[in-house]
Amino acid sequence: MSAARKDRLVQTDHPDGMTAREAGLAACTECGRLHRLGAETCSRCGARIRDQEVSLQPVWALLITGILAYIPANTWPMLITRTFGRAEPSTIIGGAIDLLSHGSYFVAAVVLVASVVIPIAKFVAIGWLAYAIRSGRVAGQHGRHRLHTVVEFIGRWSMIDVFVVAVLAALVQLGFLARIEPGPAAAPFALSVIFTMLAAQWLDARAIWQAAPAPEAGPAPSTGPAPKA
């Protein structure tokens, strides 16, 4: 224990390597208080106790909606620049290519990563996590748990391009000389980000661990405390 003390981290010891669920308990997702399974509201903070075995259907529905919204988000123009009465629509990728051609490689990379790489990686990641939960994969929980954390943390950053459009449109109103308007892709893009954020939130991290064996040679679930009150 003294080694753990040195960096001032303590690993609480855990009885038998059992999850709350296996012990017939459910933790409040809001304040953490444990309850016997079957409790509906938290006796401590009043929140509804969310069952971790919530169906994956909402996750799939939100994810698919996000993917569908992402298609027009990329094919329709995101920005329409009017200079001297000439309208110039540009898509997300077109805008990034424009930036590249002006030599702003770094900013172009930021836009591409935030608007293309992150959303697509997120679709794949959420789909994979949901699939792994459904099929009860036993190995690799650590990796998938980390993936879930990363997806939740990084998904919001896709909003960058929506903010760019809003700022440009608000700022550039120079009469007939130059005017920037948001294109029709702005709404589906924002919705795509919002839907996938919701999908990631709906995916309960605890479900990733459900099929996991207890650390080390903990009791097999079958010999665990099966009786339920």
Partner 1 sequence: MSAGPHRGEESGITGEAIRDSNLEDLVACPSCDLLHRRRVLAEGEAARCARCGTVIETRKRGAVDAVILSSVAMAVLLVLALWAPFLSLSGAGVTQRMSLVDAGLALGDGALVPLSLLLIGLTVALPFLRALLHLWALLPPRLGFAALPGAPAAFRAAMNLRPWAMAEIFMIGVAVSVVKLAGLASVEAGPAIYALAGVVVVLAYENALLCRETVWRMVLGEETPEPETPTSDTPPATRETPA
In the complex, the smallest distance separating the C-beta of residue 158 from partner 1, rounded to whole angstroms, is 9
CB-nearer residue toward partner 1: 127 or 184 = 184
Write the single-letter amino acid at 198. Answer: L
Name, in order, each residue with C-beta under 8 angstroms of 173's C-beta and a sequence gap of 6 or more.
179
CB-nearer residue toward partner 1: 9 or 136 = 9
CB-nearer residue toward partner 1: 124 or 170 = 170
In the complex, the smallest distance separating the C-beta of residue 214 from partner 1, rounded to whole angstroms, is 8
In the complex, the smallest distance separating the C-beta of residue 87 from partner 1, rounded to whole angstroms, is 15
CB-nearer residue toward partner 1: 67 or 96 = 96
Q: Are 155 and 149 in contact (CB under 8 A)?
A: no
In the complex, the smallest distance separating the C-beta of residue 85 from partner 1, rounded to whole angstroms, is 14
Name, in order, each residue with C-beta under 8 angstroms of 203's C-beta and a sequence gap of 6 or more.
56, 59, 126, 129, 130, 133, 148
CB-nearer residue toward partner 1: 116 or 169 = 169
Q: Are 88 and 80 in contact (CB under 8 A)?
A: yes
In the complex, the smallest distance separating the C-beta of residue 165 from partner 1, rounded to whole angstroms, is 7
**Cα R_g (the chain), whole angstroms:** 24
Closest CA to 162 of 176, 183, 142, 148: 183
What is the residue whose two structure tokens read 């903990």? Answer: 218
